[in-house]
Structure 1
Amino acid sequence: MGGKVLVFGGLRGSAEPRPVPLGDLVVLDPATLEVERVVSGGGGPALSHHGSVPLHDRWLLVVGGWDGRRRLSALHAYDLAGAGGWARLEEEEGGGSRAPHAGLSGHTCTKVSDREGGVRTQRRFASLDTLHVDAAARRYWRNPPNPGRSDEPKGNGRGLIERLSSLIASGSASPRTPRALRHHSMTLVGPFAVLDGGECFNKASDTVCNDLFIYDTRTAGGRWYQLSGTDSEMKRVGHRVLVVGENLCLIGGRGPDGTSCSPEIYTLEINT
């Protein structure tokens, strides 16, 4: 966001059976790999396994997560402008379904449009909510998910879109739908949604994945494609994949054994 990488919450590498989630927000400059600032506390949440998404290059929106005792459905926003700070968002009455929110953890949030403030929340077994967010007014409302196109990147990211398109056109990415996953990462790259890693539900062992899936929205109904990972050391769960310039960068998460934490930042090579 604003050319910076924001890292919020998570868990320390700990042998404790119930480690306490973190409430720190770290601002990292990807060009120098230097930490610009660290925001601790300030009335904000302390969470792991949450979903987050930037809004209007100003707010970091955090949805759900695990607070060490239970799964939450609350929305929080951190304002990077001016005095900034954390604020909890309140649901506006009359804004769609009033059914109680389910607590969420290990889900993903994907910004659909800055103009409408839409955020899609993917829960277990791929159920969807659409959230419309007004962070300045500290409010949000819900309605059933509607199909839509994401905003095209302005400047940076166009070369990455072309490389993903070439993977599909060349047959390097094969048609395949992902299995039920949790603690994966999903990010939007123009007309593509890129899903990486996660923990697979339908396997008894070796459940941490390193596959990369591409969801192509350029055709009606959309279509999934898969790139199978060849490096078993890059299996990740609870990580994040971000668009930084013309590259996809992987940060954090647990490794192939599902327990060891990884502090490194990697750039994902896409060879077409």
Structure 2
Amino acid sequence: MAMVSQHRSRSLLTRISNLDLTESNCSSHIGLKFMKQLKLKHTHSSNEFSHKTRVCARSKSLVLQRNCSMSKPVMTVTWEPVAPLGPNAAFHACALVGKTLYFHGGIKDASSSSVPSKQFFKLNLDTLLWEKVAAPGSPALSHHAAVVLENRYFTLIGGWNGKKRLASIYVYDTVENKWMEMTHQGFPSGAGLSSHTATLTTNGKVLVIGREGSLRTQRKHGNMYILSGSVASNQFIYTSYTNNIISRSGHTVNLIGNNLYILGGRSDMLFEKFVGIDYKKNSSCMLLDSIGKEINSSHQQHLEKLPCGRKHHISAATNDFILMHGGETFDGKAHAPVGDLFLITLKPITKFYQLHSSQLCRSGHACIVLPNRIFIHGGRSGKNVINSGLYELKITTS
């Protein structure tokens, strides 16, 4: 199909990727360069996010202290199991509709990592009871993305079907308990999406970020699309927003206001920020705010160098902070998923803190962020383990 283009003349987009993590000022900041172009501008730097500046920091402590005095409160951050007997799944999709979490597809068996599942489960957050959803038409997918439209439609975008990457859109109606495949246009013929991201914006459109590719070919650059349409019309349209972004796969995206933050998905350039996005999302999580405020008031030293590149991690965001956990690193030291837990402070300047290295090592796990809770489910650990449990992030002060 022909590409649907978008004439962009109403906003200025700026790509910001100049993090200064020098020892001399003991702080990291984002250098602002407001570039007068209508497309995202690359500002490559040999010393930004390069192999020379990547380091996998390890912390021996599992706690955050306000100061060196033992009389002051100490905050501990941990993952606690809350619903252990769920579906075995990694590289799956999940979303919240009302008080119910829906989990779809993914890889069930690490020995058959190219075979996606069509399994479909839900979990009520009040009862914490798992239930298999019996609805015909569930597609077999992995490495796909999910959003919820109109507080009703659990919507799957792209993914791997065992033979090729797709740009297809499948919708599960939570009211009528049925699956529907939508028609779509605007995505390049023969290409598809996997290990991409989909972010619902305040105006109901979906920001899709990921490199496109067929089974045999893979583009060197990344792509950003706006997906618009409705279930009622049975039609969705991919509109190209820009292709002037760095190619990534297995990354995470956080849209905070009109600022876009992209983490991981490649061996270098761990962190990217874009300002001036035409679309926005309001992010709020009191739990994450509490952790961030504790970090800001403590004497914990931020990282002087960025963590090493990683993929298939998770991230959660609030207005001023981003939390990043797990993934697979590119440094060659870890041959299995890691349990690193980082906090990124965004204001007044950007800094990375390592909270701790937990025993909960995961990649390809799913993350759910609520106003006062953060959950992760499933994922791969070790070399051949696909997990089934739901964990909740907890903080305690003693």
Range into which the TM-score falls when normalised by the shorter chain? 0.7 to 0.9
Selected match of 1:142 from 233, 236, 239: 239
Q: TM-score, normalised by structure 1?
A: 0.76
Partner of 1:38: 133
Partner of 1:77: 171
Partner of 2:268: none
1:10 and 2:10 are equivalent in the alignment = no
In 1, the alpha carbon distance for the partners of 2:189 and 2:343 equals: 32
1:246 and 2:372 are equivalent in the alignment = yes
1:133 and 2:228 are equivalent in the alignment = yes
Query: How is 1:98-113 mapped onto 2 (pairs within 5 angstroms)?
Result: 99-100=188-189, 102-111=191-200, 113=201
Secondary structure at the counterpart of residue 229 of structure 1:
strand
Unpaired runs of 5+ residues, structure 1, are none
Q: Tell me the matched-pair count.
A: 256
Partner of 1:121: 209
Query: How is 1:105-254 mapped onto 2 (pairs within 5 angstroms)?
Result: 105-111=194-200, 113-123=201-211, 127-136=222-231, 137-138=233-234, 139-144=236-241, 147=277, 148-153=279-284, 157=285, 159-170=286-297, 172=300, 174=302, 177=306, 179-190=308-319, 192-203=321-332, 205-214=334-343, 223=350, 225-231=352-358, 233-244=359-370, 246-254=372-380
Selected match of 1:264 from 382, 386, 389: 389
Q: CA deviation at 1:188?
A: 4.2
In 2, the alpha carbon distance for the partners of 1:270 and 1:173 equals: 20
Partner of 2:180: 87
Secondary structure at the counterpart of residue 133 of structure 2:
strand
Unpaired runs of 5+ residues, structure 2, are 1-96, 213-219, 243-275
Specify the structure having the higher radius of gyration (Cα).
Answer: 2
After superposition, the C-alpha distances for 1:40-84 in whole angstroms (9 at most, x for unaligned) are 4x2231112222222332122222222222222322222212x24
Is the 1:110–1:187 contact (alpha carbons within 8 Å) kept by the matching residues of 2? no
Change (3 A) 1:3 1:190: farther
Is the 1:208–1:237 contact (alpha carbons within 8 Å) kept by the matching residues of 2? yes
RMSD: 3.3
| Alignment-mate amino acid for residue 262 of structure 1 | N
> Please, which moves more after superposition, 113-122 or 23-32?
113-122
Change (3 A) 1:239 1:118: same
Partner of 2:266: none
| Alignment-mate amino acid for residue 126 of structure 2 | A
Change (3 A) 1:205 1:169: closer
Is the 1:77–1:86 contact (alpha carbons within 8 Å) kept by the matching residues of 2? yes
Q: CA deviation at 1:226?
A: 4.0
Secondary structure at the counterpart of residue 39 of structure 1:
coil
In 2, the alpha carbon distance for the partners of 1:229 and 1:241 equals: 18
In 1, the alpha carbon distance for the partners of 2:184 and 2:307 equals: 32
Identity of aligned residues (%): 24
> Please, which moves more after superposition, 238-247 or 101-110?
101-110
Q: CA deviation at 1:216?
A: 5.5
Is the 2:110–2:384 contact (alpha carbons within 8 Å) kept by the matching residues of 1? no
Q: TM-score, normalised by structure 2?
A: 0.55
